[in-house]
Amino acid sequence: MKEKYKRRTSDCAPEKIDAVAAKFGVERDFAEVLTERGLADDKPNQDERDGFFEPFSMSNMDKAAELLNNIIKRRGKALICGDYDSDGLTASAILKLFLNDNGVYADVLIPTREEGYGLHLQPILEKFGTIDYDLLITVDCGISEADTIKNVIEKTGADVLVTDHHEPPEILPKCVCINPKLGYPFANLCGAGVVFKLVQAVAGFEAAALYADLAAVGTVADMMPLESENRTLVRFGLKNFNHRGLKKLAELSKCGGELSASALAMKICPKINSAGRIGDPYIALEVLLMRERAESDKVAKLNECNTIRQEMLERTVAQANEKLAGLNIADSKIIVLYDEHWKHGILGIAANRFKELYKKPVLMLTADGENFVGSARGTDNVNLFEAFGKCRFLLERFGGHRASVGCTVKKDRLGSLVEELEKNIEFSDSDYTVYYDLEYDEKYLREESFSKLALLEPCYPNDKLRFHFKSVCKLCGLFGGSYLKMSLADGLELKGFGNFAGFLPALKSGADVEGVCNLEYDSYSKRVTGTLVSLSILNSIRLDEVYAANLIGRLSFENKKKIRLDGALLNSFLKSKSVMLVFNDYLEYETACVTYNLEEFYVDIFRNTTGAQKQIVISPDADTRFYSKTIVFGDYEGALSFSYGEHIVYVPQKKPLPSYLETVRIDRKTCMDVFKALKKSPNYFDLKSLFDNAMLFDLNYVQFLIALKVFEELGLVVFDDNGKYKIVENKKVNLEDSAVFCYFGGNKK
């Protein structure tokens, strides 16, 4: 069995770890994390200015500052050309506010996502046609726009100043350019960070400090590394967060208490980005310009943009799921989905959701004239930028990072692109391993222990400490309609966003669990809670009912032809690249381990949580279409069979049913009692809750489920996909016509 959870290892010298533990007064395991993350020399309580570099150490900053000083002295006019994402918008807001504060008239020009990133000559010339600007300033763009800038200078006669942070090309625009990658002690500033340094150069630190909150938002939104000056800037910006518009947005977002980098990343930045994603970035810009006074209606409008974006996302995800149903992705290294009508702005978020679900890189595209444009998201151990870089000859345009890529490809080249990506992407077992930082301990529920974890701040959600736990689920349920909430034995409350709700039936049985979570302090409840990263059910005798429920729920009454394997053929199947093994209980799995080599397989109970190419699921609620072969250990003759697809093969077992079903019996009275209870009971979300409230004291849960299966077979009860049932009125049936009733009613042969 493959190990699913592993602690991250460190190569740091033991004496250095000991020194960090002593310096910060923390335990050695946490000191190891701090050291590994490069925070051994961090000074969270240092003087606010100590971590900032001298702005004039950036190449060409003296010339850039001179341009701004000249326009300020002349009370001139400036056109700011930005970008539609949070970094570009915050950079634009900083510069416009600063210029306005100093008597300069300034307009902002932002492209839509449909127009695309960068400078667009025609809209710029149209702006110059109405106002005679003295200076055009680019923010978060421009370094790769030599031709466009040349045209602007020739056609308008205006000066141009480029402020950017993207990778400089060999040929730079013939104007003043500042970019930390052209020369600066720290190369990883974002666009807003570069503008912050420009303001600092022109007017000093005190003046720049007024815009530090906006620069912090831009830094976090662009996911820049929170190290060196970025760390100082974000820490300072959060500490001095005075922007009225953003404070109102934080209030509507229920951020509560002091803002953190994680709160910015998860609750504030997506809302700022949402305006550009749905096509009107100026809605966000208006809020970012509300430094002194927040206009509630405009902040609410931005919040509404995020709601629209979420609705668009859910529609896109639903449509993508339909497309997935017709694809064989079992052996694919990358999932590629496209639709002519999808909105470009939400493809990256949708791709990320499918990447998390299927543990594979995902590329999602939409139409743009003769091209497809889209976004790809990758797993931890796949370098997407490198993989797409090798396909550069097929692409019209591409850019991005290791885990995130945007691209444009001719429609007739998409097939060739997919073929090349399949060649270039490599997987390893570690793609399916969940890594954690620390073992969870009850002490972290106490404020004095939890507060020490703040030494990691500021940090992104994905960089939060991951805690590994093994415990027992004491309480569980749903919140927000479809999200899992559970409490461990020591009282830790965990919330699971995403696909964790499917564990609910097993957790209701008090299952033993293992998993990984983040911890955070809930300012509303005044206690430490957790968010699930990964969850697994551990083997427990208490799961017999869950196994039974799962098996009974999959009983089919169709006589399907089965492909059966002998031992030699099975061994060859086990060597397949993409294979799932299905067992009905843990004992069957342990028995198979004696005969077959299953060491290369990951094992999950109840649900497939890893998505590994070699996977074992015990009592599964699994979708087998993502595997080229599925091997079912168990063969139920007569009416009892699995309702799986054509790629399923069977390994016959000696016993016709698992031991926990062999002695189960039902009779006519059982069925009558259950049917009466159904007619009296409201519709419960799940069958376990229905049974618990039906007060059928003479029956156990397995008998109850079998009776329901009888009714379903006879057409007395119809279940929808969500588990809701409807009784078919005035229908007369004969119980002996049910194969399930005959099987469990004492007529087994």
Task: Classify residue 438: in a domain, yes or no.
Answer: no
**CATH number of the domain encompassing residue 687:** 1.10.10
Least confident of 455-464, 509-518, 519-528, 645-654: 645-654
pLDDT tens readout for residues 276-315? 888 889 999 999 999 878 788 888 999 899 889 889 999 9
For residue 1, pLDDT over 80 is answered with: no
- State how many domains the chain has: 5
Please state, rounded to an integer, the average pLDDT across all residues of the chain: 85
**CATH number of the domain encompassing residue 266:** 3.90.1640.30
Q: What pLDDT does residue 174 have?
A: 94
pLDDT tens readout for residues 201-239? 999 999 999 999 999 999 999 889 888 999 999 999 999
Expressed in angstroms, the distance from the first to the final Cα of the chain is 37
Q: Across residues 376-403, what is the average pLDDT?
A: 86
| 338 and 206, same domain (yes or no) | no
* b/e per residue 425-451 (b: at least 16 CB within 10 A): bebeeebbbbbbbbebeeebbeeebbe
Task: Classify residue 706: in a domain, yes or no.
Answer: yes
Q: Across residues 126-143, what is the average pLDDT?
A: 95
Q: What pLDDT does residue 203 have?
A: 96
740: containing domain: 663-744
What confidence category does residue 655 fall into, taking pLDDT thresholds of 50, 70 and 90?
Answer: low
Q: Which of 612, 582, 583, 611 is nearest to 600 (CA)?
A: 612
Task: Classify residue 532: in a domain, yes or no.
Answer: no
Question: Higher model confidence: residue 563 or residue 5?
Answer: 5
| 298 and 338, same domain (yes or no) | no
| 242 and 384, same domain (yes or no) | no
Q: What pLDDT does residue 399 have?
A: 78
| 654 and 668, same domain (yes or no) | no
pLDDT tens readout for residues 684-701? 556 777 787 777 878 888
Task: Classify residue 713: in a domain, yes or no.
Answer: yes
* Residue 107 CB contacts under 8 Å (≥ 6 apart), including other chains: 77, 78, 79, 80, 127, 131, 133
| 277 and 182, same domain (yes or no) | yes
For residue 108, pLDDT over 90 is answered with: yes
User: How far is the CA of 695 from the CAs of 55, 474, 665, 691, in angstroms?
Assistant: 74, 22, 19, 7
| 98 and 216, same domain (yes or no) | yes
How many residues can be counted in the chain?
749
What confidence category does residue 746 fall into, taking pLDDT thresholds of 50, 70 and 90?
Answer: low
| 156 and 97, same domain (yes or no) | yes
Q: Across residues 155-173, what is the average pLDDT?
A: 93
Strands 493-496 and 527-537: parallel
pLDDT tens readout for residues 183-204? 999 999 999 999 999 999 999 9
Q: What pLDDT does residue 645 have?
A: 44
SS3 assignment, position 176: strand
For residue 336, pLDDT over 80 is answered with: yes
User: How far is the CA of 509 from the CAs of 392, 544, 618, 654, in angstroms?
Assistant: 53, 9, 16, 29
| 128 and 188, same domain (yes or no) | yes
For residue 517, pLDDT over 90 is answered with: yes
Q: What pLDDT does residue 291 have?
A: 82
Helices (H), 157-289: 191-203, 205-209, 212-221, 228-239, 244-252, 261-263, 269-278, 282-288
What confidence category does residue 167 fall into, taking pLDDT thresholds of 50, 70 and 90?
Answer: confident
Among residues 405, 427, 449, the one where a domain terminates is 427
| 109 and 144, same domain (yes or no) | yes
| 76 and 168, same domain (yes or no) | yes
For residue 608, pLDDT over 90 is answered with: no
Helices (H), 511-606: 544-553, 567-574, 586-595
Q: Across residues 631-657, what is the average pLDDT?
A: 56
Both structure tokens of 291? 């430094």
For residue 585, pLDDT over 90 is answered with: no
For residue 642, pLDDT over 60 is answered with: no
Q: Across residues 640-655, what is the average pLDDT?
A: 56
Task: Classify residue 500: in a domain, yes or no.
Answer: no
CA atoms of 86 and 222, how far apart (whole Å): 7
For residue 7, pLDDT over 60 is answered with: yes
pLDDT tens readout for residues 59-69? 999 999 999 99
Least confident of 525-534, 629-638, 704-713: 629-638
Among residues 661, 689, 707, the one where a domain terminates is 661
For residue 622, pLDDT over 80 is answered with: no
Task: Classify residue 401: in a domain, yes or no.
Answer: yes
The residue with tokens 């020399």 is 41
Handedness of CA 349, 351, 353, 356 (dihedral sign): negative
Q: What is the pTM of this model?
A: 0.75
Task: Classify residue 480: in a domain, yes or no.
Answer: no
Q: Across residues 565-576, what is the average pLDDT?
A: 79
Q: What pLDDT does residue 545 have?
A: 61
Q: Across residues 242-267, what is the average pLDDT?
A: 86
Task: Classify residue 651: in a domain, yes or no.
Answer: yes
Beta bridge partners, 410, equal 371
Gyration radius from the chain CA atoms: 30
Among residues 408, 427, 446, the one where a domain terminates is 427
- How many percent of the chain have pLDDT more than 90? 41
Q: Across residues 267-282, what is the average pLDDT?
A: 89
For residue 181, pLDDT over 70 is answered with: yes
| 563 and 641, same domain (yes or no) | yes
For residue 705, pLDDT over 80 is answered with: yes
Q: Which of 592, 501, 584 is nearest to 546 (CA)?
A: 584
| 241 and 101, same domain (yes or no) | yes
Q: What pLDDT does residue 586 have?
A: 78
What is the DSSP secondary structure assignment for residue 408, as one 8-state letter? E
**CATH number of the domain encompassing residue 354:** 3.10.310.30
Question: Higher model confidence: residue 317 or residue 480?
Answer: 317
